[in-house]
């Protein structure tokens, strides 16, 4: 004990700290006023991002909008699916969801409050073309035009996704949806039309979101709309029609949009994460990444189906022309990567790589599929840059579900989501620091929303949504993210 601090005064101080209520910040004070808790001592910013790095949030039309029957919107396959008993958690639907159709100004204000400079939203195809094709519905376009105006007024750059799974029901009825290339052509017409109308203010368009999710879950396992279980040959053809739709849409957007508009796709490609970082496992993870994405991102980037894929599928391989491949691989300006759970890959003598299935003890979030693998974000960015030479990358989705509850003090302490985001962001920082061209990041999601078949059972937002009142309550993760944005660094 130092001579300046007598035994008595030391004891007093300890006692004061231990029992003096005013000396101890409450949990809420600690959580929601972190700089006050720091007593004015500046924290060094580790993991600082470049000045021009852009932070934002993402949502999708069917998951947040509601207003399912308003403004002349036609039905989508998700309306039909969610209204079919037994298809979604407690038979819940997106009829109202977050009511963003009416509350969009409030939601843009939330983004502004976070300091976000980019927002990724999606356009509902059946709002624009209620029948999938034909005459556009001016009220539908007007909604998105107002939404975009609101963003621009808030200093937020809009990033528009054109297909986030809500296919017009009319195209399902008429053509079997993506089973027909008529749907691919209809998609290109719709994409070109929206780009023509909005590209005065929207500078980034993503054609399609997550091929494997809506095709494999919608047409193979049937747990997503339209709930089909196709045989392998028909399934591969459906996959082909979807990547063809992407290519046709890239061309249509280029033809109709203002010069300088950037176009790409947002894909949750399977990114091989090496089991550990040795040359042999890294090489295996690169090969694995190409092979595992053969029907989607690999053919889009390479302009041909890999031999391994065609051989493996044999008589069930898709039928295609050389012209199709050219269209599918139309050059893109930007790639969006949606990054959630890791896929670990190891070197293998026979096949060059092998996927390592996770043990049952692998840590995961509230969604059973959402294994926690922060380094997967580093590898995803590195792979697309190194394998395919992508020069403009955005993380178009990253986030997690958590068993969020409102604490007695009214706050939502989602410490697990903060832990998840912090560790993924540290790995994003590593990718950026090593020079991989990631220029922005969108957290999934701004607010809790309709999580597809899991409906309102799983919450991914950094804002909690009380579905009875539509009140948005910032979670601890919103405070965390606001601070990340403010300091442009992981905190």
Number of H helices, E strands in the chain: 19, 13
- Cα R_g (the chain), whole angstroms: 24
Least Cα distance to 186 among 143, 259, 133, 228 occurs for 133
CA distance 118 to 402: 24
Cβ 400 to ligand NOJ shortest distance, Å:
8
Single residue of 184, 238, 330, 338 touching ligand NOJ by CB under 6 A: 338
CA distance 196 to 117: 23
Active site residue 267: no
Single residue of 451, 475, 479, 489 touching ligand NOJ by CB under 6 A: 451
CA dihedral of residues 127, 128, 129, 133 (deg, nearest 10): -150
Cβ distance to ligand NOJ smaller for residue 197 or 273: 273
Cβ 362 to ligand NOJ shortest distance, Å:
18
Is position 366 an interface residue for ligand NOJ (rule: CB under 6 A)?
A: no
Active site residue 210: yes
The footprint of ligand NOJ on residues 70-89 (CB under 6 A) is: none
Instruction: Identify the H or E element spanning 100.
Output: helix 100-114
The footprint of ligand NOJ on residues 421-450 (CB under 6 A) is: 444
Cβ distance to ligand NOJ smaller for residue 157 or 267: 267
Cβ distance to ligand NOJ smaller for residue 162 or 284: 162
Cβ distance to ligand NOJ smaller for residue 98 or 451: 451
Cβ distance to ligand NOJ smaller for residue 157 or 451: 451
> How far is the CA of 373 from the CAs of 264, 378, 445, 454, in angstroms?
26, 10, 18, 22
The footprint of ligand NOJ on residues 200-239 (CB under 6 A) is: 209-210
Cβ 124 to ligand NOJ shortest distance, Å:
13
CA distance 164 to 64: 12
DSSP 314: G
Is position 372 an interface residue for ligand NOJ (rule: CB under 6 A)?
A: no
Is position 460 an interface residue for ligand NOJ (rule: CB under 6 A)?
A: yes
First vs last C-alpha separation in the chain: 34
Cβ distance to ligand NOJ smaller for residue 150 or 210: 210
Query: What is the arrangement of strands in the sheet containing 272-274, beginning at the earlier edge strand?
Result: 272-274, 343-348, 352-355
> How far is the CA of 282 from the CAs of 33, 235, 276, 292, 353, in angstroms?
42, 31, 8, 15, 10
Mapped onto helix, strand or coil, the DSSP state of residue 445 is: coil
Cβ 399 to ligand NOJ shortest distance, Å:
7
The footprint of ligand NOJ on residues 388-417 (CB under 6 A) is: 397
Q: Single out the catalytic residue among 267, 286, 375, 397.
A: 397
CA distance 124 to 167: 8
Single residue of 31, 57, 60, 489 touching ligand NOJ by CB under 6 A: 60
Cβ 459 to ligand NOJ shortest distance, Å:
11
CA distance 291 to 296: 10
Q: Single out the catalytic residue among 65, 92, 150, 210.
A: 210
Q: Which of the residues are catalytic?
A: 210, 397
Contacts with ligand NOJ by CB under 6 A lie at: 60, 63, 209-210, 338, 397, 444, 451, 460
């Amino acid at each position: 004990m130092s001579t300046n601090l007598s035994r008595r005064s030391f004891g007093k101080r300890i006692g004061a700290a231990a029992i003096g209520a005013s000396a101890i910040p409450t949990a809420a004070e600690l959580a929601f006023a972190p700089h006050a808790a720091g007593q004015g001592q500046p924290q060094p910013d580790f993991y600082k991002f470049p000045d021009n790095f852009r932070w934002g949030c993402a949502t999708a039309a069917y998951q947040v909008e509601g207003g399912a029957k308003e403004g002349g919107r036609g039905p989508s396959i998700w309306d039909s699916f969610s209204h079919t008993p037994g298809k979604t958690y407690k038979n819940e639907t997106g009829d109202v969801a977050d009511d963003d159709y009416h509350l969009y100004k409030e939601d843009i204000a939330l983004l502004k409050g976070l300091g976000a400079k980019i927002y990724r939203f999606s356009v509902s195809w059946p709002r624009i073309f209620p029948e999938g094709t034909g005459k556009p519905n001016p009220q539908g376009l007007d909604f998105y035009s107002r939404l975009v105006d609101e963003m621009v007024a808030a200093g937020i750059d809009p990033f528009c996704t054109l297909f986030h799974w809500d296919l017009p029901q009319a195209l399902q009825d008429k053509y079997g949806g993506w089973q027909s290339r008529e749907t691919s052509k209809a998609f290109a017409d719709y994409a070109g039309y929206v780009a023509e109308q909005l590209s005065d203010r929207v500078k980034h368009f993503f054609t399609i979101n997550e091929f494997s999710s809506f095709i494999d879950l919608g047409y193979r396992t049937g747990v997503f709309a339209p709930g089909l279980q196709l045989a392998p040959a028909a399934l591969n053809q459906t996959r082909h029609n979807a990547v063809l739709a992407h290519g046709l849409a890239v061309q249509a957007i280029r033809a109709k949009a203002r010069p300088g508009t950037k176009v790409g796709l947002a894909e949750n490609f399977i990114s091989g994460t090496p089991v550990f970082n040795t040359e042999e496992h890294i090489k295996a993870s690169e090969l694995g990444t190409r092979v595992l994405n053969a029907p989607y991102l690999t053919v889009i980037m390479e302009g041909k189906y890999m031999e391994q894929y065609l051989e493996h599928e044999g008589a069930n391989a898709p039928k295609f022309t050389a012209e199709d491949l050219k269209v599918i691989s139309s050059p893109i300006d930007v790639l969006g990567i949606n990054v959630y759970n890791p896929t670990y890959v190891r070197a293998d003598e026979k096949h060059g790589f092998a996927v390592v299935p996770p043990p049952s003890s692998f840590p995961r979030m509230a969604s059973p599929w959402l294994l926690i693998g922060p380094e997967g974000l580093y590898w995803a960015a590195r792979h697309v840059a190194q394998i395919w030479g992508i020069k403009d990358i955005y993380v178009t989705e990253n986030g997690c579900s958590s068993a969020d509850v409102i604490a007695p003090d009214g706050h939502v302490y989602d410490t697990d989501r903060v832990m998840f985001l912090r560790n993924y962001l540290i790995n994003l920082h590593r990718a950026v620091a090593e020079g991989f061209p990631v220029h922005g990041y969108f957290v999934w999601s701004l607010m809790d929303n309709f999580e597809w078949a899991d409906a309102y059972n799983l919450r991914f937002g950094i804002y909690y949504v009380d579905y009875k009142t539509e009140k948005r309550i910032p979670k601890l993760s919103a405070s965390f993210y606001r601070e990340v944005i403010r300091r442009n660094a992981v905190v």
